[in-house]
Structure 1
């Protein structure tokens, strides 16, 4: 009887505590968060200490990228400015009576104040997390303003504004550099930023159809289109990282089911553009993996923490090269494309862009020294995605799903044999096929 009463009392708050957060389903526009999927602890496993770590970080939050602004946001804003629709007579759209756009041409690709603060916060967090490691002599970034300023803010947070302690090394975003850059896709002739748009648009027609019908019934003078709906979803994330909140995030405007549609449309785009939908993706991610592992294993290097800032294209390729977030990882079949249909949502998919590449997304390779019960004493490695441990498929024989040194090196070697030929994957060009920026 007591047990039954306890279970009844416990169930109510647990069931009522969950609240759907649109910002955790906003794909590449999501503010930084840790998904905790799987829910492994981010601190090192019992008996383990991190001895070295390498981080790849996407730049912090921006006002908008040029494609989103020119394709979706600006057209919607102009349409809103020229409409005769009386928004005060509507329900879910009443806020448009007084709403003003948070973005203009001058803001495109620039970091927001929230972005600068979050980059600084990441620096402070990693300083605390790795207080026992040496302050890095260098931090790297590609040369775009948003990546450089993200790195500068990170350094300020890491050093408590003693920025002279760390040198920022800028790596040119040069096509001729090939894989020897933090933007290897720029030198790859086989890569195209438009891949995935057809698949995303196809599903976009599916999930926006009922939304368009609903909103057009509510605001009969406006004539909502698929692009308008996309812009409204995007404004939730962009306006939030500019102003701190957005009426476009209201669940009275878009339901959780509709948000999952927006997220899936973006998942399709990134899946085919920088994920498993193209074999090329893993070949773009392998140079950073190889360079990072070599840096962690180089005991002659005085640097123990390696942090590099890049754009949104690179982290998903690293995820793909490592075999993480793979929908078909346990099936034994090579039909991963079938797991991402274009006419319906695969709700049980592993590939979720909101978890893989929010603003300031970061992938880490940690090298640990372990003396843990039930495991051999020695070095182990683990992968973190936004502070959440991601055990490697077929390489998790250590504490907390980590991977022993011998197995990890075999795992990386096997992935390199599959995807390590950058020039072949990129169409036979004769550019550098490896990343050398961490070499001493």
Structure 2
């Protein structure tokens, strides 16, 4: 990853425990390179939007009350600090968050999304439209002038090198046109402003300026950004299924998180109140200040926050904040939620269908009935129910980027059965350090779940021979691997392929089994009877 995006952590860094309010960083054990002798031939990504000023619920419940009391104390002139107090900065502190910028993408966040787009170009450029598409009409960046578009009279005076470059550009243009897709390469985004702005910044980083349109919305011929309405029930249950699920609630997990705060927070409150006069630090202020550590880091241009000081919070107190987030997310979008796997199964179904259909003849998504439907099902060796109206219904691309909200990567993880915590306890009176469920590894801004289709050389079988005058060509086998923020994840039921990947056909059967369990989205999302 570009050094501008990848955060290289010290032995301990508070940002490594900020969960859903940290700048992007790869998960532990990240290894984006495909396994030896393998190449990525198709991929699908479910990506959280980039950094925002603040989530409205977190602002109203925690940070706003704290910021308002600090502001009143500043106006009253009552703030006094002990010598070398790590809270002394509050004397002149101005909160960068307000009601006008809530939920909006930050400038550093847009830069991060741009850098993520560049990273995709480096890693998956072979799955994207060729860079030369659409270049001809933008070669001179518009406008007539000396030596530009109206330059035929000057042709004789050009050097041989210039003429060679012209011929090369023309040849590249012709080759690119032969590869030109019949429909634009699509980038999908949830319709909220922060998602659309993230997608546009990503497009600007991933594609040359002659393809990305005026503001990253795409030129509509080669690239096209599609904003999917947040509550659109007709788009394979939408990019934000939690918003159309009546049974979904953000309240689960809050009591457990509060109980944990009541365990780790009081000693922190007692210590901090000795460092300041004129401001009474309350229990919820611990969460407010730890949240501000994350948010200020993704808001301020220098990417620093005084709230991240290890003189203000000790290492274990930052870890405790990470666990506070884990308890909350576990209950409302993790294995503690009854609806989470049903929400995540929708994206898993769409993505698996598109990956299996890559390189297949162009086709729509017929139901598995009738002659054509049965033929398609037999061709792909899959009984997967076809999505009702999935993106890119004619399968004209090999890379599928989806930008969405923070709730969606965790539910996709649950649908895949990864980081399964159903057999472990998440107590509210202690913090298990070796727990599987660590949202700091999943949910930073731009955090993502990816599924890659791999083509790998088949290893020679024992006893096989090869003629010395005609070496056998390597036979390709196909596999699927799952990554979370760059870290490969092994599926519990299938991990015998290169790098712990899963054979493509077996992965399809695995997804079928998951959909048999969690495919009834409408049934699971019925509002509970009161």
Q: What's the counterpart of residue 387 of structure 1? A: 486
Residues 221-260 of structure 1 mapped to structure 2, 5 A cutoff: 221-243=278-300, 244-260=303-319
Mean CA deviation greater in 208-217 or 94-103: 94-103
Aligned-pair distance for 1:427?
1.8
Separation (CA, whole Å) in 2 of partners of 1:428 and 1:75:
33
Separation (CA, whole Å) in 1 of partners of 2:35 and 2:238:
33
Aligned-pair distance for 1:373?
3.5
Cα 1:167/1:426, change in 2 over 3 Å = same
Residues 67-78 of structure 1 mapped to structure 2, 5 A cutoff: 67-78=57-68
Deviation per CA, 1:276-323, whole angstroms, max 9, x where unpaired? 001310110001001001011112322111101100011100011111
Residues 37-56 of structure 1 mapped to structure 2, 5 A cutoff: 39=29, 41-56=31-46
Mean CA deviation greater in 385-394 or 131-140: 131-140
Residues 233-382 of structure 1 mapped to structure 2, 5 A cutoff: 233-243=290-300, 244-298=303-357, 299=360, 300=362, 301-327=395-421, 335-336=422-423, 339-373=425-459, 377-382=476-481
Residues 153-192 of structure 1 mapped to structure 2, 5 A cutoff: 153-161=201-209, 162-163=211-212, 164=219, 165-174=222-231, 176-177=233-234, 179-192=236-249
Q: How many residues align?
A: 403
Residues 27-106 of structure 1 mapped to structure 2, 5 A cutoff: 27-36=19-28, 39=29, 41-83=31-73, 84-87=78-81, 89=83, 91-106=85-100
Aligned-pair distance for 1:154?
0.6
Cα 1:134/1:81, change in 2 over 3 Å = closer
Separation (CA, whole Å) in 1 of partners of 2:458 and 2:61:
53
Aligned-pair distance for 1:411?
1.2
Kept in 2: contact 1:46–1:372 (CA 8 A): no
Aligned-pair distance for 1:91?
1.6
Cα 1:123/1:54, change in 2 over 3 Å = same
Matched position secondary structure for 2:126: coil
Matched position secondary structure for 1:80: helix
Separation (CA, whole Å) in 2 of partners of 1:316 and 1:256:
26
Q: What's the counterpart of residue 435 of structure 1? A: none
Q: What's the counterpart of residue 196 of structure 1? A: 253
Aligned-pair distance for 1:110?
0.4
Cα 1:179/1:195, change in 2 over 3 Å = farther
Matched position secondary structure for 2:44: strand
Aligned-pair distance for 1:360?
0.6
Separation (CA, whole Å) in 2 of partners of 1:119 and 1:231:
26
Aligned-pair distance for 1:399?
0.2
Aligned-pair distance for 1:175?
6.1
1:26 corresponds to 2:45: no
Aligned-pair distance for 1:118?
0.7
1:133 corresponds to 2:127: yes
Kept in 1: contact 2:53–2:295 (CA 8 A): yes
Matched position secondary structure for 1:167: strand
Kept in 1: contact 2:236–2:350 (CA 8 A): no
Kept in 2: contact 1:87–1:96 (CA 8 A): no
Separation (CA, whole Å) in 2 of partners of 1:159 and 1:359:
21
Separation (CA, whole Å) in 2 of partners of 1:416 and 1:253:
47
Kept in 2: contact 1:274–1:281 (CA 8 A): yes
TM-score between the two structures when normalised by the length of structure 1: 0.88
Kept in 2: contact 1:88–1:97 (CA 8 A): no
Q: Which has the higher helix share?
A: 1
Separation (CA, whole Å) in 2 of partners of 1:40 and 1:314:
21
Matched position secondary structure for 1:180: coil
Larger Rg: 1 or 2?
Answer: 2
Q: What's the counterpart of residue 145 of structure 1? A: 193
Structure 2 residue runs without a partner (length 5+): 1-8, 130-183, 213-218, 363-394, 462-474
